[in-house]
A and B are shown apart, each in its own frame.
Chain A
């Protein structure tokens, strides 16, 4: 039983990180109908910006919650800038091209970021600075909880709440929803669609940057190719929940995190990386709109 609860906690903390990345995918897809393949690499960049800023600002020598927040902030800003640049230079010129061309460009941007990451950061793995190190472990009965995991869960949950607020309560959020509903109609109604799309990219990329820092805290080994697998898995999570749907992405990511943790916990750990894709194929073949997908909008 204790083991089960332990896996549950691990699964939630893994799932909440997938969720941060998946939200970026789902937002961009909702607005542009585009799989931003480079999103996983934005996540990787976030981790590296966190690595350098954490060390540069000296938070690894004096860990504190403030250190975590500052590192998060720097990393999110850098990543939103990166997202903006990617959108402006790679995707915007292609907006009227066939979908397949944008997909190929996205793959190209993803590869470019991976290998320039290797060029700039070096190919050997680096150890993420402990910018925030809570004391001891919490013990409830036999259960041992690493407070770091709980904090990470807390940070990512609050970010999602902020995102929900932005999407449903602010002007930008309303414009995003309008653009996602009908791109051309939104433009006719006077919404600056290009600017809204830039905002969407910036928001999504900022969340990916935050996820990069949080991953660095829990799994400290970071390297330039760390974005590929979590990126793909988060995309699967977004599809699982119904792509374009923020709540769906969150639920799908938690579900995937739990499923992976249990697969690792009870035996077949080597099959972990295949699990997400098996889910993907099953979901797409049985219910292509995902669990929370809008009925009637066959996106496939």
Chain B
């Protein structure tokens, strides 16, 4: 807990982050093409999703395939909150943004709660079995949403106010990266890495492995929930079909491509794949086929065959640059 407090109390980082967001959002956005800014927003959401899944899959080694489920919980809860509250309170921009922030946090917290229950089986299961159970959990969440009339069932939930903008997405993407980065570099989070590398040895030296596993699920789910909320308030529409297997697979592909256990790898892969998806859109419209997924899946297979650890492996970009520098000198 002490480490966590230290992270939260480190003002320098917060000021830096906020400064960057303020400058970029206020100064640059009016000059940026809406389509371009849409891609940036989607990239930011992908970054949050990929980095948070990386914490579970890459850093803790618990292969989860149900990330879209957490995203769905966060998205629906936060969308419901803003929809319910906006009728009660008619406020200015500041009040609206405050409501949005609270809705996002509520979405994240409810996703974290679900993450706790999804994480529990990881105490007994590992590898393939855990993967298929988390996939099952994601699917159960989707089916439950499909059957809930309050969120529109299969018709979907429309009319969600558009609160997500570049500033918010950027803030949360930076917070996610910052948080995950700090976590795996403190004794608090080193436990996650030790669970991945050798669970039995970690247990033997007194690492509370069970707690580490559930924690990584809870934290990962929290950020996925946030991303879901941002996504909902950007798209302004939610339906259960958005959160099917393929969404989970997309996030997994980002994590695997970037390298399991590399935060900067996840960030790069998330941006790359989101941009690639848009770049392929004209080709897709010409042929009428979802070529994107063919390329994604081929990428996945080729990477597994040629570079089994992903592009960056467990290393960060900074470490790779450092090793280049050393070689040069």
Show the binding face of A for B, using Cβ within 8 Å. Answer: 34-35, 90, 93-94, 97-101, 103-105, 107-112, 114-116, 118-119, 123, 228, 232, 235-236, 239, 270-271, 273-274, 276-278, 280-281, 284-285, 288, 299-300
B297 at the interface (CB under 8 A from A): yes
Task: Determine whether the beta carbon of A115 is less than 8 Å from that of B305.
Answer: no
- Excluding A98-B308, A103-B128, A112-B294, 18 further A-B contacts by CB distance (< 8 Å) are A94-B308, A103-B63, A103-B131, A107-B249, A107-B252, A111-B296, A111-B297, A114-B293, A115-B297, A119-B291, A232-B135, A239-B132, A271-B143, A271-B147, A274-B139, A281-B137, A284-B124, A288-B129
Task: Determine whether the beta carbon of A35 is less than 8 Å from that of B125.
Answer: no
Residue in A110, A270, A284 whose CB lies within 8 Å of B143: A270
Task: Determine whether the beta carbon of A274 is less than 8 Å from that of B297.
Answer: no
CB distance from A33 to the nearest CB of B (A): 8
B208 at the interface (CB under 8 A from A): no
CB distance from A232 to the nearest CB of B (A): 7
Residue in A123, A270, A274 whose CB lies within 8 Å of B140: A274
Task: Determine whether the beta carbon of A288 is less than 8 Å from that of B124.
Answer: yes
CB distance from B115 to the nearest CB of A (A): 15
| CA gap between A299 and B128 in the complex, in Å | 10
B113 at the interface (CB under 8 A from A): no
Task: Determine whether the beta carbon of B294 is less than 8 Å from that of A119.
Answer: yes
Max count, chain A CB within 10 A of own CB: residue among B63, B125, B128: B128
| CA gap between A235 and B305 in the complex, in Å | 25
Which A residues are CB-close (under 8 A) to B131? 35, 103
- Chain B, Cβ-Cβ closest to A270: B147
* Closest CB pairs A-B (n = 7): A277-B136, A108-B300, A111-B297, A274-B143, A112-B297, A108-B301, A115-B293
**Chain A facing B: main interface SS:** helix
Max count, chain B CB within 10 A of own CB: residue among A97, A101, A228: A101
B121 at the interface (CB under 8 A from A): yes
**Given A35-B128, A112-B294, A115-B290: A278 and B140 interface contact (C-beta under 8 Å):** yes
Which A residues are CB-close (under 8 A) to B65? 107
Task: Determine whether the beta carbon of B132 is less than 8 Å from that of A280.
Answer: yes
Show the binding face of B for A, using Cβ within 8 Å. Answer: 61, 63, 65, 121, 124-129, 131-133, 135-137, 139-140, 143-144, 146-147, 245-246, 249, 252, 256, 260, 289-291, 293-294, 296-298, 300-301, 304-305, 308
| CA gap between A98 and B61 in the complex, in Å | 12
Which A residues are CB-close (under 8 A) to B245? 228
| CA gap between A118 and B276 in the complex, in Å | 20
Which B residues are CB-close (under 8 A) to A114? 293
Task: Determine whether the beta carbon of A280 is less than 8 Å from that of B301.
Answer: no
Task: Determine whether the beta carbon of A273 is less than 8 Å from that of B143.
Answer: yes
**Chain B facing A: main interface SS:** helix
Max count, chain A CB within 10 A of own CB: residue among B144, B291, B294: B294
Q: Using a Cβ cutoff of 8 Å, how many contacts connect chains A and B? A: 121
Which A residues are CB-close (under 8 A) to B140? 274, 277-278
Residue in B127, B290, B301 whose CB lies within 8 Å of A90: B301
Task: Determine whether the beta carbon of A285 is less than 8 Å from that of B304.
Answer: no
| CA gap between A271 and B61 in the complex, in Å | 31
Task: Determine whether the beta carbon of A105 is less than 8 Å from that of B290.
Answer: no
| CA gap between A123 and B136 in the complex, in Å | 25
Task: Determine whether the beta carbon of A100 is less than 8 Å from that of B63.
Answer: yes
Task: Determine whether the beta carbon of B132 is less than 8 Å from that of A300.
Answer: no
Which B residues are CB-close (under 8 A) to A118? 289-290
| CA gap between A93 and B308 in the complex, in Å | 11
- Chain A, Cβ-Cβ closest to B288: A123
Which A residues are CB-close (under 8 A) to B308? 94, 97-98, 101
Task: Determine whether the beta carbon of A104 is less than 8 Å from that of B137.
Answer: no
| CA gap between A35 and B291 in the complex, in Å | 26
Residue in A93, A270, A299 whose CB lies within 8 Å of B146: A270
- Chain B, Cβ-Cβ closest to A112: B297
**Given A101-B304, A285-B124: A274 and B144 interface contact (C-beta under 8 Å):** yes
- Chain B, Cβ-Cβ closest to A277: B136
Task: Determine whether the beta carbon of A108 is less than 8 Å from that of B124.
Answer: no
CB distance from A126 to the nearest CB of B (A): 16
Task: Determine whether the beta carbon of B300 is less than 8 Å from that of A104.
Answer: yes
Which A residues are CB-close (under 8 A) to B291? 115, 119
Max count, chain B CB within 10 A of own CB: residue among A34, A119, A288: A119
Task: Determine whether the beta carbon of B127 is less than 8 Å from that of A103.
Answer: yes
Max count, chain B CB within 10 A of own CB: residue among A104, A118, A228: A104
Task: Determine whether the beta carbon of A100 is less than 8 Å from that of B146.
Answer: no
| CA gap between A114 and B118 in the complex, in Å | 28
Sample of 14 A–B contacts (CB below 8 Å):
A35-B132, A97-B308, A103-B63, A108-B300, A108-B304, A118-B289, A118-B290, A232-B132, A271-B147, A274-B144, A281-B136, A281-B137, A285-B121, A300-B129
